[in-house]
Structure 1
Amino acid sequence: MIRATLLALIAWTAPAWAATCENVRHDGTGYTICEVDLTTEDLRLFLYDEAGDVLGQFGAVDRSLRAEGKTLGFAMNAGMYHDNRAPVGHYVEDGTELMRVIPNAGPGNFGLLPNGVFCIRPGRADVVETLRFQREAPACTYATQSGPMLVIDGDLHPRFLPDSTSRYVRNGVGTSADGTRAVFAISNTAVTFHQFGRLFRDHLKLPSALFLDGNISRLYAPALNRSDIGFAMGPIVGTVINRTD
């Protein structure tokens, strides 16, 4: 939950419709979280430019938005991808499906079922377990499939172990039950899945949350003077705001 005191401190500097970001600590570990209000903010996924080339970087996404008179408000990497940056799982951008749903188990974190889909629709966003997503078939304007699920109906993923030795910088997203809030988080140090899931369940109090990726996790948060750099990414999620210059 974003603290009211922080809102008061940054409200006068944040561009209209920008996500609210802050640094928090939970169980002795530092995280950066960014909260998006889907009732007022424009949240999108980005992968390719108009020429079909991979955007790959926060700066490239920002430049692509200039033609609309807009800019990137906040962003992070948004799901696993192949070497050519194509998404591993289901992916929808601006209503067009670029990759089908992958429902079966497999190697790696993506195949550690249950996994899930982050679905963005007008006025709401939801993290939905993959098999439920297939049954309900929501009409997502944007969607990205990743895994594993971190929190499922208020419970941690059953395969998470408190004493796990697998630690990475990780990022993910959780949504409120009414779909009006999406909260993105990235760990500032290496954490286990169990630690990361508990951030969403116990600190953020969100009933559903999805792991987006680990090790390559990056964040763009101008309000915190943060823009992580690195090699080209696959899908990117971010808010879009009107330019002020």
Structure 2
Amino acid sequence: MGLADLKRRLGLAVGALVALTLPALADLCETRRFEGTDYAVCTVDGTQQDKLRLWLDGPDGRPLGDFSAVRGTLGAGEVLGFAMNAGMFHADYAPVGLYRSGEVQGGALVLSGGGGNFGMRPNGVFCVGAKAPFQVIESRRFAKRQPQCRLATQSGPMLVIDGALHPRFDPGSTSRYIRNGVGVSRDMDMAWFVISDRAVTFHEFARFFRDALGARNALYLDGSISRLYAPGINRADWGRSMGPIIGYVGKP
């Protein structure tokens, strides 16, 4: 065997090993059952955090609003592996709290309490690309630390806080919605983007993150407008327009 042939074969072998470490787009999302309810779970490994993007406005300055418009912003050869709504927004689609996507900041950090789910403190910020690949940080801690996040979206309430459920969640609550959120593993190298397949309470939703996924911290993103685009599991939810949207962009 010549040297050139040996290099070629070694290159193919290394390429195959690298391919095994990268998640196929079709494998990003799965359905998991917990306590009789199905949840769609999209998992991103820390080595792939650069594939995550956060969108709000299109090139014309108008809110994108839906998954189809997001796909229209992608470059040649790029594919949207999954996407979901990424936080609460005002009537004009502006983020309720902090929004940061690269050099673009659309909203400021909100530390005051208030009505609604966002104001059910503690609330928090999902941060991508600071000291750890992924963090869910309580908002007041975020204000003190000022981490350098490539992407950041604030929402509330926190679902899981240092391994404990939010103290205001009632196991006997009758308030049920389709809900979505994001959780981070204990070592902060894994992020789970989750939406329930049926209406659930806050307590049920938070337990899924803590008990089924082992999330150390998790953040609620929204309820009544929660939607997911995940072609790998044949899902493309539709409904009224959204504000911030987060998703995974890769190559086919």
Same fold (TM over 0.5): yes
Q: How far off its partner does 1:179 sit?
A: 2.1
Moved more, 191-200 or 68-77: 68-77
2:220 to 185, 202, 211: 211
1:64 to 46, 63, 73: 73
Q: Any idea what the Cα deviations from partners look like across 1:118-146, whole Å, max 9, x if unmatched? A: 01116711111101111111011111000
Q: Which residue of 2 aligns with 1:6?
A: none
Structure 2, unaligned stretches of length 5 or more? 1-18
State the Cα distance separating 1:95 from its structure 2 match. Answer: 3.0
Choose between structure 1 and 2: higher strand proportion: 1
1:69, distance to aligned residue in structure 2 (A): 3.6
The answer to whether the Cα contact below 8 Å between 2:26 and 2:231 also exists between their aligned partners in 1 is: no
Distance in 2, Cα, partners of 1:104 & 1:182 = 27
Shift of 1:94: 1.5
Name the residue aligned to 1:5: none
1:185 maps to what in 2? 194
Q: Identity rate of aligned residues, in percent? A: 54
Q: Considering only CA atoms, is the larger Rg found in Structure 1 or Structure 2?
A: 2
Query: Which structure: greater helix fraction?
Result: 2
Aligned equivalents of 2:43, 2:116: Cα separation in 1: 28
Equivalent of residue 24 in structure 1, options 10, 21, 32: 32
Residue from 76, 82, 95 that aligns with 1:87: 95
- Write the letter of the residue equivalent to 1:134: A
Using the TM superposition, give the Cα deviation of residue 107 of structure 1 relative to its aligned residue in structure 2, in angstroms. Answer: 0.6
Aligned partner letter, 1:236: I
1:113-128 map, 5 Å: 113-121=121-129, 124-128=133-137
Cα RMSD after superposing both structures: 1.8
1:1-245 alignment, distance < 5 Å:
16=24, 20-41=28-49, 42-66=51-75, 68-121=76-129, 124-242=133-251, 244=252
Structure 1 CA distance for aligned equivalents of residues 23 and 29 of structure 2: 12
Unaligned 5+ residue runs, structure 1?
1-10
Equivalent-residue separation in structure 1 for 2:109 and 2:68 (angstroms):
29
Q: For residues 141 and 201 of structure 1, do their structure 2 counterparts lie closer, same or farther at Cα, with a shift above 3 Å needed? A: same
Contact 1:95-1:140 within 8 A present in 2 as well: no
What letter is aligned with 2:100? V
| Structure 1 outlier segments of 4+, above 2 Å | 14-19
What SS does the aligned partner of 2:72 have? helix
CA distance in structure 2 between the aligned counterparts of 1:224 and 1:208, rounded to whole angstroms: 26
- Structure 2 residue matching 1:40: 3-state secondary structure: helix
- In the TM superposition, residue 215 of structure 1 has moved relative to its aligned partner by 1.4
Paired letter, 2:250: I
CA contact (8 A) 1:221 1:227 kept: yes
Question: 1:96-132, CA deviations, whole angstroms, 9 ceiling, x for partnerless residues?
Answer: 3221100010110000000000011167111111011
Deviation at 1:37, TM superposition (A): 1.0
Report how far residue 70 of structure 1 moved: 1.5
Instruction: State the 1:214 CA deviation.
Output: 0.1
Shift of 1:71: 2.1
Return the offset for 1:24. Answer: 1.1
Aligned in 2, Cα 1:18/1:115: closer, same or farther, shift over 3 Å? Answer: farther
Shift, 1:17, TM fit: 5.7
Structure 2 counterpart of 1:84, one-letter code = D
The Cα offsets for residues 76-105 of structure 1, whole Å up to 9 and x where unpaired, read as: 000000111110001101133221100010
Per-residue CA deviations over 1:150-172 (Å, capped at 9, x if unaligned) read 00000000000000011100000
Paired residue type of 1:27 = E
Work out the CA distance in 2 between the residues paired with 1:134 and 1:228.
Answer: 34
- For residue 16 of structure 1, report the CA deviation from its aligned partner: 4.4
Aligned residues: 231
